[in-house]
Amino acid sequence: MAVISIRKLPDQVLREPSREITEINGELQRLIDDMAETMYAAPGLGLAAPQVGRLHRLIVFDVTHRDGGPQDLKVIINPCITQAEGELTREEGCLSVADFSAEVRRHARVTVKGLDREGKPLSITGEGLLAVVLQHEVDHLDGILFIDRISRLKRGLYLRRLKKQAAAR
């Protein structure tokens, strides 16, 4: 396993839609393992393939490990949100959006269907933090970042700061 470099804004790969995975093979298994190691090393609660430069519909996440509990890695290949209800607002950050977090409105409960790492169908229903993580990571697969879900003013302030930092380098 290896830690992969996490892509950060303004990297355009983060804005590209991902392709469905059609073959589950050893290369995909290595990518899953590398993404998991990268997520835990960052540390983060979830990671989508575009964040490591791969335009595959693949996410890994673990919401239990954040409080020092045992690792409980979850993998979803070709995830699709099939049900969503309720509403909540929660502070979000992102490994691909450096030094910024903001309140984001999301569904309070979602069901995501896809395949596990062996290719078997799975369905995960999450509420609260798990619902947020699932929506956040699935958004990445469609080229959507959490900053796209905040006010234009807050997003603009962040993007201007990002440009200023890039110009100073």
Just list the catalytic residues.
137
Report the distance separating Cα 68 and Cα 56, nearest Å. 29
Report the distance separating Cα 145 and Cα 29, nearest Å. 25
H-run or E-run covering 38: helix 26-41
Lookup: tokens for 18 = 């991902």
Report the distance separating Cα 27 and Cα 12, nearest Å. 24
CA 109 to chain centre: 17
